[in-house]
Each structure stands twice: as structure tokens, then as C-alpha cells.
Amino acid sequence: MTTLDIVMVIVRVSISAFVPLCFLAVCVTMERRVAGFVQDRSGPNRAGIYGFRAGGLVQNLADGIKLAFKEDIISEHVEHKFLYVLAPIISMAAAIISFALIPFADTLVLDGKAYVMQGIPWDTGILWFLAVTGFSVYGIILAGWSSTNKYSLLGALRSASQVISYEIPMGLAVISLLIVYGSINLSDIARFQGQNWLGFIPMWGIFLQPLAAVIFIVAAFAECNRTPFDLAEGESELVAGFHLEYSAMKFAVFFMGEYVAMFASSAVIVTLFFGGYNIPFFSTDFLIRNIKPVAFVMLVILPVFMFYFAKWIRRNNRSQYPRENDPREAEATVYIRCFWILIGVIEVFLLAILAFAQPDTAAAHLLVALMQICTFLLKVTLMLFVYVWVRWTIPRFRYDQLQILGWQKLLPLALLNIFVTGAIVVALG
């Protein structure tokens, strides 16, 4: 192993392990602020460090510190303390490793060696995701059972049976996709979606398999125990569901595990149906061959984008009431300057690439990989927004409605989809 190999291993593993954790802050902030905006209120925007509120991000820090320093209580009536502590660990670990096989950029070629941009460069892809998300059931069951609390137990029963029954339509929806893509390797699937159809429609899963997309997304919502399927924590009936007895950091781990699972399933949805890391209409080869025009376009677009972004910050980051020497406007100025400095640094790099880099060199490959990582994360963020958006739109299903939807609607639809897809694929050769 050369130094480059070791560096690449560290980079890939740390991206796949820490990006989901970093996105926790994005998820939680987005959840709260989007909920606020949808309901015409503002959401948490008061917590700040010396007046710097970062649009509500500091609230997460405050909550995190609070949860970390709270007293960690294990009730007297908990008989199986080991299993009780094990439960949040299982659900968090299952969530993190389910992201390990998702490609976040096209295969990176450095020094004539190809590096598959996944946490674990393995070709078992989507089956790994299905296998690992199955383990999250253990976390739920153990938490509900070892809490020795009837509400926890009922919550765990609901949640576990929901996860088990929605795994089936999910797996069947994946099968029809695999017929189309002809591979279970997520890298192959993402590369397949980089092609264009008739020259202008990207060959994304959502266009090739709309029914499978709907079934998979609905099942993914149910797997994450998100609204409209969050019966496990029906506040009016079950208080909080399976994590009712958990406090402090053990609760926080459950909470984080839920959001990491949401991130991982968004990433899978993006990879299967929305082209993964592909920038629409531009294949990796095209970008690498035309690195100079690409760098030039980025060079132009970034300041324009930043100009409007700065205007948006100015407009929204001010006190909405008469106030002399509004400190929030000074705050906005600081943010805008920081962002301009960041843009300036990126511009310098782009200029360097424009001046020195030749097509098909390491610099070109790295720039394209970075652009693809950004595209991937942007797509995942949009998918996370859809999760949040659905949560604040749709009311909760009743439990029998949930099971009827899973077994009587999604399952036959998924089976039908497999037959139709198979017939079409065979007919088209």
C-alpha cells in the first residue's frame, strides 16, 4: 500500500462515517425551521453565541450540550440493564453502516489507480442496505422490551411490525429496479443513470421506474418511522413509544440514529432514483475532458450565486421590529464577509486550475469528484427536505390503515411492477 492508498482509505471512510453525523445538524435545524416556516412561524432562532445565531444552528449546539450533561438515568425497574444500554447503540450503528456502501462520487482515478468512492469499496450495494436496515429492528425491540414499560412495549411492537412488513414492498421494488439496471452494485447503478435518454432526459430511476420509486419512497418513510407512519411515537396514545424510558445521551443516541437512518435512506433513494452523484446532462468523462470550460463556468456562476445569496441574507437576517443599530444586521455583514472569503478561496483554486491544469490530470479528476460530492449532498439535502416537508403536511395513518397500505396495496403493486418490468425488458432485448 502506498501513502496515497492509505490517504484515500482514510478520506473515504471518514466521509462515509462523519458526513451523516455532520448532517445531523442540518437535519435537525431543517426540521425545526421548515416546520416553522410551513406553519408561518419562525422556529428556533434565538440561541446565539455573542449574538451570532447562524440561523438557528446554535440551538443544536445548546441542545447537544444539554443532552450530554444531563443526568443519565436508568430506572430501578429495568431488569436487563445490558440490553437496555445496548439498544440505542444497535440502532445508531445500524444507521451509520447502512451508508457505508453508497457511492458519493464516480470512481476516482489517481496515478492510474481507480478508487471506488464508497466507505467500503464492495459491490454488494443495495442488498447490504436492506440487510443492515433490518438490524435496526433489534434496537427498537430491545429498547421497548427492556424498558419494562407498557407504552414502550406497545411502541416497539408497532414500530417493529411496521419495519418488518414494509421491508417486503421495499425489497420487491428494488428487484424491479435491479432488472432494469442489471446490477446490485450501487456504483454501477449510479453510472448507469449518468447516461441520457434521447439526448435530453437523464436516465434516472424515477423516469424508468416511477411506480417502484413511489413504492420505495413510501416504504423508506415507513422504515425510518417518519410521519405519516410514526405510529411508534403517537404522542397522544403512547407518550413517546419505544424510547420513552431513555434519558440524556442514551435518548440522544436514539434521536441521532433516527436522523442518520433518514440521511442514509435519502442517500439510497437519491442513488437509486435521482441519478446519485451525477450532475444532470454532464457525464464524468465529459467533465474531465472539458475541465477548463467547466472551471470557467464555475468561476462565473459562483460570484453571481453569492451575490443573490448575500442579498437574501441581508433581507432575512434583521430584527423584524424597529430597533436602533440592529445587531442582526452587523451579524449579517459578518456572515456575508465570511461567505465572500470562502468564495474567494474557491475562485483562486479554480483560477489555478484554469491556468495550469490539463484535461485528464489528477487536478481535473479531483475537481470533478468534489463537484460530484457536492451534487450528491445537495440532492440528499433536497430529499431530506422532502422527508421534513411530508412530515409537516400529512397527518398520521391509523395502524390498520398502515398495514392495509403495506400488504394490500404496495405489495401487489410491487409484484405487478416486477412482472411488467421483466416483460418489457425481455421484449426490448
Partner 1 sequence: MAAKVKQLPSRGGTPAEKVYLIEIFKGMGITLRHFLRNLWDNSNLYVRHYPEVQPNIPAHWRGRHRLLTHSDGTPKCVACFMCQTNCPANCIMIKAGERTDGITEKMPVSFTIDLAECIYCGYCVEACPEDAIRMDTGIYAFTSSNREEMKIEMDEMLSLKGGYTEEEYQKGLEDE
Partner 2 sequence: MYIDTLFSIFALTAVAGSLGLVLFRHPMRSALCLAVTMISLAGIYALLSAKLIFLLQLIVYAGAVTALIVFIIMFLNLREKDLPEENERFTYFIGGAVVLIPVAWFMIKVMKSIPEVKNSIVGNGFGSIKEVGQMLFTNWLVPFEIISLLLLVTLIGAVVLAGIRRESND
Nearer to partner 2, 74 or 164 (CB): 164
Tell me which stretch binds partner 1 (CB under 8 A): 120-128, 268-276, 311-319, 329-337: 311-319
Please report whether residue 320 would count as binding partner 1 according to CB under 8 A.
yes
Chain-centre distance for alpha carbon 323: 39
Q: Are strands 196-197 and 201-202 parallel, antiparallel or unpaired?
A: antiparallel
Backbone φ and ψ for 153, nearest 5 degrees, come out as -65, -45
Nearer to partner 1, 58 or 132 (CB): 58
- CB 155 within 8 Å of CB 233: yes
Nearer to partner 2, 141 or 383 (CB): 141
Please give the single-letter amino acid code of residue 335: Y
Helix (H) or strand (E) holding 197: strand 196-197
Tell me which stretch binds partner 2 (CB under 8 A): 76-84, 308-316, 374-382, 389-397: 76-84
- Contacting partner 2 (CB under 8 A), which of 21, 78, 83, 85? 83
3-state secondary structure of 236: helix
CA distance 280 to 220: 24
Please report whether residue 315 would count as binding partner 1 according to CB under 8 A.
yes
Please report whether residue 394 would count as binding partner 1 according to CB under 8 A.
yes
Please give the single-letter amino acid code of residue 328: R
- Contacting partner 2 (CB under 8 A), which of 96, 97, 141, 190? 141
Nearer to partner 2, 183 or 283 (CB): 183
Please report whether residue 75 would count as binding partner 1 according to CB under 8 A.
no
Rounded to whole angstroms, the maximal C-alpha distance in the chain is 73
Grid cell 425491540 in the structure block, residue: 141
CA distance 419 to 56: 49
Q: List the Cα angle 193/198/204 in 5-degree steps.
A: 20
- Contacting partner 2 (CB under 8 A), which of 40, 71, 76, 79? 79
Crossing angle for the helix pair 150-181 and 210-223, nearest 10 degrees?
Answer: 160
How does DSSP assign 401-418, residue by residue?
HHHHIIIIIIHHHHHHHH
Q: Mark residues 176-205: x for contact with partner 2 by CB under 8 A, - for none.
A: --------x---------------------
Please report whether residue 407 would count as binding partner 2 according to CB under 8 A.
no
Q: Which residues contact 373 (CB under 8 A, 6 or more apart)?
A: 15, 104, 105, 117, 277
Please report whether residue 119 would count as binding partner 2 according to CB under 8 A.
no
Please report whether residue 350 would count as binding partner 2 according to CB under 8 A.
no
Residues 178-237 contacting partner 1, CB under 8 A: 214
CA distance 107 to 98: 20
Tell me which stretch binds partner 2 (CB under 8 A): 133-141, 250-258, 291-299, 399-407: 133-141
- Contacting partner 1 (CB under 8 A), which of 138, 340, 389, 399? 389
Chain-centre distance for alpha carbon 351: 32
- Contacting partner 2 (CB under 8 A), which of 84, 104, 115, 128? 128
- CB 427 within 8 Å of CB 421: no
- Contacting partner 1 (CB under 8 A), which of 321, 325, 426, 429? 321
- CB 54 within 8 Å of CB 45: no
Which of partner 2, partner 1, none binds 34 (CB below 5-8 Å, type-dependent)? Answer: partner 1
Chain-centre distance for alpha carbon 68: 24
Closest approach of partner 2 to the CB of residue 124, in Å: 6
Which of partner 1, partner 2, none binds 400 (CB below 5-8 Å, type-dependent)? Answer: none
- CB 331 within 8 Å of CB 251: no
Q: Mark residues 26-45: x for contact with partner 1 by CB under 8 A, - for none.
A: --------x-xxxxxxx---
Nearer to partner 2, 151 or 335 (CB): 151
Tell me which stretch binds partner 1 (CB under 8 A): 70-78, 154-162, 195-203, 388-396: 388-396
Binding region for partner 1 (CB under 8 A): 34, 36-42, 214, 312, 315-316, 319-321, 323, 389-390, 392-394
